[in-house]
Structure 1
Amino acid sequence: MPTGKVRFYDAEKGFGFISEDSGADVFLHANALPEGITTLKKGVRVEFGIVEGRKGAQALSVKVLDPVQSVAANKSAQNRRTPEELVVIIEDVVQLLDGVGEGYRAGRRPDRKLASTVARALRGLADELEK
C-alpha cells in the first residue's frame, strides 16, 4: 500500500489531498477516513489504497500511521494544574460571577476594573480546562 503525508484536509468541506512519498498528489474524501476520525492535520503520515476516479487518483481505506503531535498541546499538558488547584480557581470564578450577577440584578454594570478581572479569570479558566 502506498504511504504519504496529508498535504491539507478541510473537515468542513470533507476533503483534502495526500502527497504520496513518490511525489504525486492523491484526492482524499471524508468517506476514506478511518472510523471515528473526522479530520486530519497537515503532515500526518498515512497509508492508503488508490483508485482512479473521474478526476484522477483517489485515496481509499486511509490508515493513520503516526499522528503529528502539537507542540502547544504537549507543553500545555506538562503545565496542567491538579484537580485540587482547579477546584479553588473555579470557586473563585463563581464568586466573581455571583458578584457581577448581583450587580446586574440591581441594574448596575460592573466597573471597568472588575469587568477586566472577570474577563481575565474566565479566559484563564477556559485555557486551563482545555489543557
Structure 2
Amino acid sequence: MPSGKVRWFDAKRGFGFITGDDGEDVFLPAAALPEGVSTIRKGARVEFSMVTGRKGLQALDVQPVGPAPSIVKATRPQPDDMAAIVEDLIKLLDSAGGHLRRHRYPGDAESRKLATLLRAVADDFDVQG
C-alpha cells in the first residue's frame, strides 16, 4: 500500500493532494477520507490505495498513520512577519486606548476590525494541536 504526506487539503473545495513517498503527487478527493472525517491536516502521514483517473492518479481509501503534525505550527507566519503584524496591532490598540481615555469606545467599524485582528493574531500565537 503506497504512503505519503498530505501536501494540502481544502475542506471547502473538497480536495487536496498527497505527495507519495516516491515523490509523485496524487489527487485527494474528500470522498477518499475515512467515514466521518471531513478534513485532514497538511503534513499528515497517510496510507492509501490509488487508481488512474481521467486527470491522473487519484487516492482511494486514505488512512492516517500516526499522529498528525499541528496545522497551527505548519501555517504560522515567519517570526519577522509576525513582528511587523504585532507592531501594527500595537498602533491600533494605542488608538483604541486614546478613544477609551476620552470616555468613549471606538466606532463600530474600527471595533470590529480590531476584534478580528486580535482573534487572528491570537490564533497565530496558539500552539495547541
Question: What TM bracket, shorter-length normalisation?
Answer: 0.5 to 0.7
The gaps in structure 1 that reach 5 residues or longer are 73-110
For the residue of structure 2 that corresponds to 1:40, the secondary structure is coil
Q: Which residue of 2 aligns with 1:69?
A: 70
Structure number with larger C-alpha Rg: 1
The answer for the alignment partner of 2:22 in structure 1 is 22
CA–CA distance in structure 1, aligned partners of residues 99 and 59 of structure 2: 55
Alignment CA distance shift 1:64-1:16 (3 Å): same
State the SS of the aligned residue for 2:31. helix
Paired AA for residue 45 in structure 2: R
Amino acid in structure 2 at the alignment position of 1:115 = Y
Cα deviations across residues 50-77 of structure 1 (Å, max 9, x unaligned)? 11111111000000113113566xxxxx
* Residue matched to 1:115: 105
Counterpart AA for 1:22: D
Aligned pair count? 88
User: What is the CA–CA distance in structure 2 between the aligned matches of 1:70 and 1:3, rounded to whole Å?
Assistant: 20
RMSD: 3.0
Distance 1:54 1:71, change over 3 A: closer
What is the aligned partner in structure 2 of residue 8 from structure 1?
8
Q: Which amino acid aligns with 2:33?
A: L
Paired-residue identity, %: 50
Q: Is the 8 A contact 2:49 2:62 kept in 1?
A: yes
Q: Secondary structure at the match of 2:105?
A: helix
* Aligned partner letter, 2:15: F
**CA separation of 1:59 and 1:70: change in aligned 2, threshold 3 A:** closer
**What secondary structure is seen at the aligned counterpart in 2 of 1:115?**
coil
* Whole-Å separation in 2 of the counterparts to 1:8 and 1:43: 8
Runs of 4+ in 1 over 3 A off after TM superposition: none
Give the Cα separation in 1 of the matches to 2:11 and 2:70: 18
Q: CA deviation at 1:34?
A: 1.0
How do 1:1-131 and structure 2 match up within 5 A?
1-65=1-65, 66-70=67-71, 112-113=99-100, 115=105
